[in-house]
């Protein structure tokens, strides 16, 4: 920022504009219908096509920093799975901070949908070494996870019935704010042929488009917008739909700030010349 | 001593690299067993690496406190909270709801992480305002792409002409092409580095050569 521009519009003024836009966005009437793109439908259709009782693996690889963006995604997918009477297995490869968060979200969503731990879903603890853990799961599930998060033996959990290795899951979805999604594609899909979908933050969505085009992943839920589309597909508007007006307003505000910054820059340049 | 420091690590790197490389191409139960063992090793090493990280954190902050470098108070806070969290972890069930560790997680870590991430939004707005300038053809293209993607990713973009289609095209074609090129480059670089490590040409991991 040039000295003139800094004086004309200081940093606090930019922050103030963003704060005003943020507060104003909360007053905008909420919309609940966001048409699903083919990219998001790639995940939805795969889960929707599974017969009742099928297991679905969800790798919940995000921590509190990205909770606002990722939680609605996880909730929408869980709602879809339980409505289809699918068994859900939730694990994490992100960090030890991820599973307490995932447990809270899954437990709350289960209470809403009447899902029972052990029967409709199972929770697994954090495992370090993302790719190594996935490769090991492809060999033997019980070797990596002999017990679930509560210490119950895998063989005694009805939700884990028939699961001996990774490929026993007809579908796996990695909801990640870190790069574990790459591990799921490179170790899970490339090595074992596992059908993989990805849910990620909006900023990292561009990283996964090559996998989408090469059909290494079936679909991609990108950021809050993707989560809002998924909520619309499962007809259960939630946090993502509610937050979309705010995201719209802030994006437009940033674009306007960029335009104003450029106008001021060129005016200053023209005056100088 | 030189054997322990140089020859043994080089031999381990060579043997591990060659065995695991060959293993990938041998569809046999014995090969699968080798893979299983190697994965156990990898997982173990990953956990040991975490311990090393903890050791490094303690060492680095202790040093700052001892030398009383500017901002050493933050290091003291980091060490105290680290110690309290470890104590909470040992108290009661690992991280069960209602436990002290879970309390720290829900009421401190969770809130602070969310706050940090929220503040980021303001800084991104400020940085975009300061830095996004159409100074050259390249920066103008970057600016246009950023604006199109930002508008295309939110519902308001759907009401603007061309924006949704342009955003989808940038993501599916331009981004994919660039990303794929980077991935190929990284893959080739990784292969070259792996071969250098396996054959002992690259020895920086032994302690800087």
* Encoded tokens for B192: 């070259």
Are residues A198 and A171 in contact, defined by beta-carbon separation less than 8 angstroms? Answer: no
CB contact under 8 A, A64 and B114: yes
- Rounded CA-CA distance A211/A213 in Å is 6
Structure confidence at residue B203 (pLDDT): 86
Structure confidence at residue A222 (pLDDT): 92
CB contact under 8 A, B116 and A210: no
CB contact under 8 A, B46 and A132: yes
Structure confidence at residue A180 (pLDDT): 92
- A71 CB contacts (<8 Å, ≥6 apart)? A105, A239
What is the arrangement of strands in the sheet containing A196-200, beginning at the earlier edge strand? Answer: A121-126, A87-92, A55-61, A171-176, A196-200, A220-222
Which residue, A270, A254, A54, is CA-closest to A171?
A54
Question: What are the chain B neighbours of A143 within 8 Å (beta carbons)?
Answer: 36
Which residue, A149, A153, A98, A104, is CA-closest to A123?
A149
CA distances from B198 to B11, B39, B41, B75, B190 (A): 9, 18, 18, 39, 12
Structure confidence at residue B4 (pLDDT): 80
Pairs of CB atoms within 8 A across A/B: 148
Predicted confidence (pLDDT) at residue B37 exceeds the cutoff of 90 = no
Q: Which residues of chain A have pLDDT under 50?
A: none
Structure confidence at residue A172 (pLDDT): 97
Structure confidence at residue B94 (pLDDT): 55
Structure confidence at residue B208 (pLDDT): 58
Mean pLDDT of B9-33: 87
Closest CB to B122 among A18, A128, A207: A18
Determine which of A251, A259, A261 to mutate to test the interface with B (most B C-beta atoms within 10 Å).
A251
CB contact under 8 A, B126 and A14: yes
Burial of B60 (0-12, 13-18, 19+ CB in 10 A): exposed
Mean pLDDT of B3-24: 88
Chain B residue with Cα closest to A36: B155
Q: At what angle do helices B137-152 and A239-272 cross, to 10 degrees?
A: 160
Confidence class of residue B31 from pLDDT cuts 50, 70 and 90? Answer: confident
How much is the pTM? 0.83
CB contact under 8 A, A255 and B147: yes
CB contact under 8 A, B183 and A210: yes
Write B141-146 long-range contacts (CB < 8 A, 24+).
B143/A258, B143/A262, B145/B170, B145/B174, B146/A258
Burial of A106 (0-12, 13-18, 19+ CB in 10 A): buried
Chain A residue with Cα closest to B111: A64
Phi-psi region of A114 (alpha: psi -120 to 50; beta: other; left: phi over 0): left
- Rounded CA-CA distance B11/B40 in Å is 20
> How close B199 gets to chain A, by Cα (Å)?
23
């Amino acid at each position: 920022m040039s000295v003139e521009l800094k004086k004309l519009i200081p940093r606090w003024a930019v922050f103030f504009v963003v704060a005003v836009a943020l507060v104003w966005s909360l007053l905008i009437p909420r919309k609940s219908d966001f048409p699903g793109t083919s990219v998001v439908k790639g995940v939805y259709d795969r889960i929707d096509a599974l017969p009742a009782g099928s297991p679905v693996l969800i790798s919940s690889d995000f921590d509190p920093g990205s909770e606002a963006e990722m939680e609605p995604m996880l909730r929408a997918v869980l709602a879809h799975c339980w409505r289809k009477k699918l068994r859900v297995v939730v694990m994490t490869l992100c960090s030890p901070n991820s599973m307490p968060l995932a447990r809270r979200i899954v437990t709350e969503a289960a209470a809403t949908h009447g899902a029972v731990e052990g029967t409709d879903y199972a929770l697994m603890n954090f495992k370090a070494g993302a790719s190594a853990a996935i490769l090991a799961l492809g060999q033997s599930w019980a070797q990596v996870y002999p017990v679930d998060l509560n210490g119950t033996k895998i063989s005694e959990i009805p939700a884990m019935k028939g699961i001996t290795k990774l490929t026993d899951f007809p579908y796996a979805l990695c909801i990640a704010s870190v790069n574990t999604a790459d591990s799921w594609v490179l170790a899970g899909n490339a090595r074992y042929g596992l059908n993989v979908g990805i849910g990620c933050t909006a900023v990292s969505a561009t990283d996964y488009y090559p996998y989408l085009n090469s059909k290494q992943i079936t679909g991609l839920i990108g950021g809050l917008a993707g989560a809002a589309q998924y909520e619309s597909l499962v007809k259960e508007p939630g946090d993502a739909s509610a937050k979309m007006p705010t995201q719209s307003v802030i994006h437009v505000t940033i674009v306007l700030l960029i335009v104003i910054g450029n106008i001021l820059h060129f005016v200053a340049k023209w005056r100088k010349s | 001593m030189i054997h322990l420091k140089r020859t043994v690590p080089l031999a381990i790197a060579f043997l591990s690299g060659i065995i695991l490389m060959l293993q990938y191409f041998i569809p046999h139960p014995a090969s699968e067993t080798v893979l299983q063992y190697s994965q156990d090793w990898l997982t173990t090493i990953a956990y040991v690496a975490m311990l090393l990280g903890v050791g490094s954190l303690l060492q680095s902050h202790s040093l700052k406190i001892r030398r009383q470098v500017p901002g050493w108070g933050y290091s003291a806070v980091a060490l105290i909270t680290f110690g309290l969290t470890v104590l909470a972890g040992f108290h009661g069930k690992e991280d069960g709801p209602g436990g002290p560790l879970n309390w720290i997680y829900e009421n401190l870590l969770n809130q602070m992480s969310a706050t940090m991430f929220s503040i980021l939004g303001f800084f991104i707005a400020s940085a975009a305002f300061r830095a996004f300038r159409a100074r050259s053809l390249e920066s103008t293209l970057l600016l246009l792409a950023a604006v199109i993607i930002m508008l295309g990713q939110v519902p308001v973009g759907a009401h603007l002409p061309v924006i949704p289609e342009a955003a989808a095209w940038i993501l599916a074609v331009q981004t994919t092409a660039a990303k794929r090129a980077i991935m190929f480059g990284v893959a080739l670089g990784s292969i070259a580095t792996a071969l250098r490590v396996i054959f002992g040409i690259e020895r920086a991991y032994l302690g800087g050569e």
